[in-house]
Each structure stands twice: as structure tokens, then as C-alpha cells.
Structure 1
Amino acid sequence: MPYRPAESRYDAMPYRRVGRSGLKLPAVSLGLWHNFGEDTPHATKRALCRTAFDHGITHFDLANNYGPPPGSAEEAFGEILRTDLAGWREELVISSKAGYEMHAGPYGEWGSRKYLVQSCDASLRRMGLDYVDIFYSHRFDPDTPLEETMGALDFIVRSGRALYAGISSYNSERTREAVRILRELGTPCLIHQPSYNLLNRWVERDGLLDTLEDEGMGCIAFTPLAQGILTGRYLNGIPSEGRATQGKSLDPAMVTDDVVARLNRLNAVAEARGQTLAQMAIAWVLRGGRVTSALIGASKPSQIVDCAGAAANLEFTEGELAAIEKASDDAALNLWAKSSEGV
């Protein structure tokens, strides 16, 4: 039977305006960083996308190097767009990025105009799209003038390859510089995608959230669940199955006794709120409206359902926030420290 999205898909998910723009994103978005490469069955990828859309998750976030191998996530998503999601493009927000290593040679990573433009073109071919809604500079390039990198984003938008420009993992100082350059070129910088979660609060210390508010930009936080640590699977230490045992993006050394103790204190607060730890972690990132959307990853449809449920309770009492602060402050579990320094 052909897929038909749930008619109730817009009933529960809130949609938030991205900074001072007309674009809205769901409070929870789906990232295809993990579980969309050739190491995952295509049927699983289809089920993840279907479940997300059925629950009001209209934003799908990709990058040129997502896989493995690089490019395979965009190819898989392109096939899903041609089949399951055919006819629904107008309801979707699709983003991609370039900045990390995509291929060998001097033009395979970072922020040159050549790399960014050709990467955007290749991403569009892989997904079978005429344009993406948002195209990001995935990371700051210390060896390329920021004017060149932002000029490439301006060209990508003006040429119709993308509707909006964004940046990811730039610190506050670099963000202000990038915004100024794009504003002078006539292409606003719509959104920033930093890492941010209960155990990784560098955006607060850096002043990035204040900068984004001042500049009228949106914010979509990646790793709001700290690579799965905040899902409740690590309450008793490292489980037999998970990212920490797969040799992927989570170093087992990150899951210390101190982290496990913090997780259990946070889980007690979540249980008292009637939420799972993952739901509370997402709700905390979204508290107060400074973060537009929380960008989750998933390996099972049930995980998407659980995360989408966070939108049902985004309010916190002063007591809850105090308990969360005590359990999470100074954890400094920043898996992306080098990137978030903007250098």
C-alpha cells in the first residue's frame, strides 16, 4: 500500500518561528547523521522518516558527508523522497551542509567557495532536488577568509540552490562576523546549528544564545541527547549495545561514574514530571523559546515517538530547574569542543 501520512500529524507538534523570519520549524526535527548510511537497512530508514512525518516532524537535516560512506544518507533520503514522501515536498523543510571531509584532495572539506558550491550541487543531485530549504557552512574554516565562505553561501541562495543560509558550530564572535558579512551581501543568516544539551552547555558560557537573539537568528540544537547518553540507556553504565560500543561518535571514556550519577539524578526529575529522561532533556533545551528546534537522531521509530512526546510538556517549575542545574552544571561533556571554538 502506498504511504499516506497521518491526518493528525499537525495536531500535537508545535512549530516555532526561526528568528525574525517567516520560516517555522517543528520543535523536534530529525537528523540523518546516524543510521542512514549503507550500514542500515533501507526499510529502517523508510520507517524512521514515515514515523517522523506522521508525528509532525517536517524538518529533515542532512550533510554531504553523512553515511557511511559519505553521501549515502542523502542518496537514501533522495529515494525516500521519490517514494514514500513523493508529493509532500511542499510540507517539508530539508537542509544540508558542507564543511567536513567529503572526499580526498584539497577541495574535499572546509570552507572554500569551490568546495561549498560543488558540494551543494552534489547534494542536490543525490537527493534529486532543485533546492534545499537551508544550506549551512558546517564549520568555521580558519584558513579561508570568512568573506569567501559567506560569499559562497550568498551565491548558493541567490542562485536558487537554497532558500536560506545557515552556519554550524561557529562561536559567538565568529557568528557575529558571519552575520555582518551576509547582511552586507543582502542574504540574512537565518539559523545557527550548535551542539547543546544538559551535559554540554558551551553555548551559554560562550554567549552564543545571546548573540543569536540579538541578531534575530534561529537556533537548532544538535546532540540534545548527548549522543544517546540522555536517553536513559546509560543509567547503569555503558549498555552492551549503543554508540559507546560501536566505535562511532561516542567515546566510552565519556561515560564516567560522575556522568552516570548525574544521569540518575536527572532521571529522578524526569520521572517526577511524568517524562522519560530523553523527553525532559529535549524539553529543557527548548525551554524559554531561545532554541527553535531540537535535532534528534534515531535508530528505531519508537525513539522518534518518544522524542516527539517531549512537546507535550515544555514548561518547568523553579524547583525542577534548580534540581536540573545542580545535576548538570559543569558537566562539560562537549564532544565538539574544537568545532564550537570556531577555529
Structure 2
Amino acid sequence: MTFSAADSRYDTIRFRRAGRSGLQLPEFSLGLWQNFGDNRSFTTQRDIVLRAFDLGVTHFDLANRYGPPSRSAEKNFGRIVREDLSPYREEIVVTTKAGNPIGASPYLSGGSRKHLLSSLDISLRDLGLDYVDIFYSHSPDLNTPLEETVGALVSAVRSGKALYAGISNYGRDRALEAAHLLAAEGVPLLVHQSRYSILDQHIDRDGILDAATETGTGTIAYSPLAQGLLTDKYLSGSVPQDSRAADSAFLSANDITADYVSHAEELNRIAQERGQSLPQLALQWVLRRPDVTSALIGASSVAQLEHNLAATGFAELSTDELARIDAHAVDLSPR
């Protein structure tokens, strides 16, 4: 069946400018970190991606290690582009990253020029694209000079294989240095992607958001639901067999503590009083700050996608509600 995008796809979605750049991104972006590997139904993946686009989500976030196995998410998304989204390439923002380990070889991880640029070439091959819109250094590599990592990002942009440069998971000082090094080469740092949620506010506490504002860099918030802790899945204190805490490397049953449950219950109560779900409250909270360009959401079904995208359809959070939320904003997010 030939895909034809909905004519109404831009009727309700809201966009925010990425830092001081000319690029606008939707408030919600679709992350393909989990649920888009070869262990998931391709039909379901396709349904989620195409429904997201029909609802105005134009930004699709990938990395070379997303799967499992590594690179499978890029291959699966590349198939969707080839079969469905290729007529809309000008309307979508496709991003990828390199730097986190994808194998035992020393050339399959880190911030070296070798790894970053060779990985980008393979990502473009798997995606079936001539360029990605944003290419990220996925995480800081303290064993590689930052100048080398930045130089690779500059080369990616100057070669036309990427339109913009980004970083992810950097600390404040290293992010500032990367921004200044990139600016000196005439390649502005477009975005910094960081964990951010009610239960993980380190980018506020450590000045990472302030540094982004100082350098004109946009902020992309990932894990806004704290790997599922900000849903109703674990409010009973138990771990469902089909939940992330049962089989994920990023969340475990040990994270479902009595302390967590007590705070999550109170946050859920605030959400219910507002007529929304806990994940909708959590997403609205992340986007309360205008310096957050976009919140990355994942989805395992079209229904979950639609539910989360409805988060900004509720009244703005009041000063009193924000204070109540803050009282339960303990740092419980898994690393």
C-alpha cells in the first residue's frame, strides 16, 4: 500500500527553534532507541513512524547502536523511508549518532575521527540517505582530544553528509568547550541531547541547560519518562513481566523501591487531578521550559504514541502544581 501523508499533519503540532539556529523541531520527536530493532515487528514499527508523521512529528532520532542488534534500527527506518517517506524527505529531520560502543574493536567506539566518520558512512548506507540532518557525538570520549572529535563533526558537515552537528551526554564544561571549538570552525553546535525528567534534573542542577542557552544551543530531552518510571506500570510496586524493568539494561526491578512508589503515587495523583495521565504530566513538565527544544518520546504502539502526543493539550502547569511536583522530584532515574 502506498503511503500518503495526512493533509492535516501540521494543523496542531507546535514547533520550537533549536537554539539560535534557523531550524525548527517539533515539540515531540520520535526516538528509535528501543522498539525498533529486529526483535520487534516491522509492521508495528512502520505503523508508529507513519502515524507520527501524520501527526506532525517530523524529527526521527537514531544512532548506530540502536537495535538490537546495533544498526538494525537504522536499517529498519531506512526501509520505511525507502518504501513510504522518500517523497517527504524535505519534510523530515533524520539524526544519527556515533561514539558509544557497538562492538569489541577499538574502531567501533569512542570519539576518534576514524570511528565517527566511518560510522556515519555506514549509517548513510543503511538509511539509504545522502545526508542526515544532524550528526551527533553520542557521548564524550575522555581518551580522545576534544579537538579531534569536533574536527570529525566539522568534516561531516563540510562534506555535506550532515547538515548540523550535535553532542549528547556531555557535561557542562566539555559542552561549552565543544561549542566554542565548533564556532571557531564556523560550524555552530545545533543541539545538545541530554537525559531530563522530573526524576532526573541533572541538566538543571549542573548548569548544562544554562550552558546551552549561553552558546545558543538547543536542548533535546531524552528519557522524559525516566525509562518508564513516570508511567503507571510500577505504581503497585511490582514488575510486570512484559515491562522494561523486567528485561532492560537501563532499568531493573531494583529501581522499583518503596521510596520510588511513594513519590510516583503522589505525582500520579497530581496528574489525575488535572485529568491526565502520569506520562502526560511528565512530558508537559519537561516542555514547560522554552529552552527545551524538543522531548524525545519512544513508543511500542500507535496507541501509546497518540496518548503521549496529547500531553500538551492540557492547561499549563500552575505555580502551585509545579511546587507540588518539585516536592517529589527526587533523583531516582537510572543511569
What is the TM-score with the length of structure 1 in the denominator? 0.95
TM-aligned CA deviation for residue 134 of structure 1: 0.3
Q: Following superposition of structure 1 onto structure 2, how do residues 270-281 of structure 1 map, counting pairs within 5 Å?
A: 270-281=271-282
Instruction: Provide runs of 4+ in structure 1 moved above 4 Å.
Output: none
Q: Map 1:1-343 onto structure 2 (within 5 A).
A: 1-237=1-237, 238-313=239-314, 315-328=316-329, 331-336=330-335
SS in 1 for 2:107: coil
CA distance in 2, matches of 1:61, 1:247: 20
After superposition, what is the alpha-carbon deviation per residue over 1:125-165, rounded to whole angstroms, capped at 9, x for unaligned? 00000000000000000100000000000000000010000
Paired with 2:131 and 2:3, the residues of 1 have a C-alpha distance of 24
Identity of aligned residues (%): 51
**Letter of the 2:296 counterpart:** L
Query: For the residues of structure 1 that align with 2:188 and 2:92, how far apart are their CA atoms?
Result: 21
Matched residue type, 1:170: Y
Distance 1:101 1:317 in 2: 42
Per the TM alignment, residue 254 of structure 1 is displaced from its structure 2 partner at its CA by: 1.2
Q: Is the 8 A contact 1:230 1:277 kept in 2?
A: yes
Bigger mean CA offset, 11-20 vs 269-278: 269-278
* Cα pair distance change 1:74/1:99, threshold 3 Å: same
Q: Which moved more, 1:164-173 or 1:269-278?
A: 269-278
Deviation at 1:314, TM superposition (A): 6.6
Is contact 1:111–1:141 with CA below 8 Å preserved after alignment? yes
C-alpha contact 1:12 1:312 (8 A) present in aligned 2:
no
- Bigger mean CA deviation after superposition, 145-154 or 284-293: 284-293
Letter in 2 for 1:315: E
Q: Give the superposition deviation at 1:63.
A: 0.1
- Partner Cα distance (2:23, 2:315) in 1: 21
| Kept in 2: contact 1:135–1:153 (CA 8 A) | yes
From the superposition, tell whether residues 134 and 314 of structure 1 become closer, same or farther in structure 2 (CA, over 3 Å).
Answer: farther
How far is 1:56 from its partner?
1.0
Task: In structure 1, list runs of 5 or more residues that go unmatched.
Answer: 337-343
Q: TM-score, normalised by structure 2?
A: 0.97
1:314 and 1:132 map into 2 onto residues whose CA distance is 36
Q: Name the CA distance, whole Å, in 2 between partners of 1:200 and 1:140.
A: 19
Task: Report the alpha carbon displacement of residue 102 of structure 1 after superposing the two structures with TM.
Answer: 1.8
Does the 8 A contact of 1:194 with 1:222 survive in 2? yes
Once residues 5 and 127 of structure 1 are traced to their aligned partners in structure 2, the CA distance between those partners, rounded to angstroms, is 20
Q: 3-state DSSP class of the match of 1:192?
A: strand
1:271 positional shift = 1.4
Query: How many angstroms apart in 2 are the aligned matches of 1:179 and 1:289?
Result: 20
1-structure distance, mates of 2:269, 2:8: 32
**Any gaps of 5 or more consecutive residues in structure 2?**
none
Count of equivalent residues: 334
Q: Which amino acid aligns with 2:331?
A: A
CA deviation vs aligned residue, 1:249-288 (integer Å, no higher than 9, x gap): 2122112111111111111111122221111101100103
Distance 2:96 2:248 in 1: 25
User: What per-residue deviation string (whole Å, max 9, x for no partner) do you get for residues 90-148 of structure 1?
Assistant: 11010000011123311110100010000011000000000000000000001000000
Structure 1 letter corresponding to 2:334: L
Taking a change above 3 Å as real, the CA distance of residues 286 and 297 of structure 1, as seen in their structure-2 partners, is same
Distance in 2 (CA, whole Å) between partners of 1:314 and 1:5 is 29
Helix, strand or coil for the counterpart of 1:303?
A: helix
Describe the superposition over 1:262-321 as per-residue Cα deviations: whole angstroms up to 9, x where unpaired.
111111111122221111101100103121100011111111101111122372101100
Provide the aligned C-alpha RMSD in A.
Answer: 1.1
Distance 1:334 1:199 in 2: 5
- Give the stretch that moved more between structures: 101-110 or 52-61: 101-110
Cα distance in structure 2, aligned partners of 1:51 and 1:271? 27
CA distance in 1, matches of 2:156, 2:143: 21
Aligned residues of 2:65 and 2:71 also touching (Cα < 8 A): yes
308-317 or 290-299, which deviates more: 308-317
**SS of 2:122's equivalent?**
helix
Amino acid at match of 2:7: E
CA contact (8 A) 1:287 1:314 kept: no
Q: Which moved more, 1:143-152 or 1:102-111?
A: 102-111
Cα distance in 2, alignment partners of residues 6 and 14 from structure 1: 16
